[in-house]
Amino acid sequence: MTAALINANSRPWLEGKLPEGVEPLWFEDADQLMALAPRAEVAWLDMIAPPKAREALPLMTGLKWYCAMSSGVDWLPLDLFRERGVALTNGAGIHAQSVSEYALMGMLTMAKGWREVVRAQDRHEWLPDSPGKRELLDSEVLVIGAGEIGAKIAGMLCVFGAKVTAARRTPGEGELGQDEWQGALGRFDWVILIVPSTPQTTGMFGAEQFAAMKPGAVLLNFARGTVIDQHALLAAIDSGHLGGAFLDVTTPEPLPSDHPLWSRENVHISMHLSGRAQDALFARGSARFLGNLGRYLRGEPLAHQVDLAQGY
Q: Are residues 33 and 125 in the same domain?
A: no
Are 31 and 126 within one domain? no
Q: Within the chain, which residues score under 50 in pLDDT?
A: none
pLDDT attached to residue 142: 98
- In a shared domain, residues 17 and 108: no
Would you say residue 188 lies in a domain? yes
The DSSP symbol for 305 reads B
* Cβ neighbours of 75 (radius 10 Å): 14
Cβ atoms of residues 56 and 45 within 8 Å: yes
Q: In the prediction, which pLDDT does 200 show?
A: 86
Is 307 part of a structural domain of the chain?
Answer: no
The string of pLDDT tens digits covering residues 193-246 is 999 888 889 999 999 999 999 999 999 999 999 999 999 999 999 999 999 999
Whether residue 288 sits in one domain with residue 202: no
> How far is Cα 239 from Cα 244, in angstroms, rounded to an integer?
11
Give yes or no: residues 135 and 224 share one domain.
yes
The predicted pLDDT at position 281 comes to: 87
Cα–Cα distance for residue pair 103/283, rounded to 1 Å: 23
pLDDT of residue 304: 95
Query: How many domains, the chain?
Result: 2
Assess if residue 308 is contained within a domain.
Answer: no
Asked, for residue 274, whether it belongs to a domain, the answer is: no
Same domain, 103 and 252: yes
Tell me the residue range of the domain where 147 lies: 96-269
Regarding whether 81 and 65 lie in a shared domain, the answer is: yes
The CATH number of whichever domain residue 104 belongs to comes to: 3.40.50.720
Q: At what angle do helices 148-159 and 96-111 cross, to 10 degrees?
A: 40
**The pLDDT value given to residue 196:** 87
Are 132 and 243 found together in one domain?
A: yes
Q: Does 305 fall in a domain?
A: no
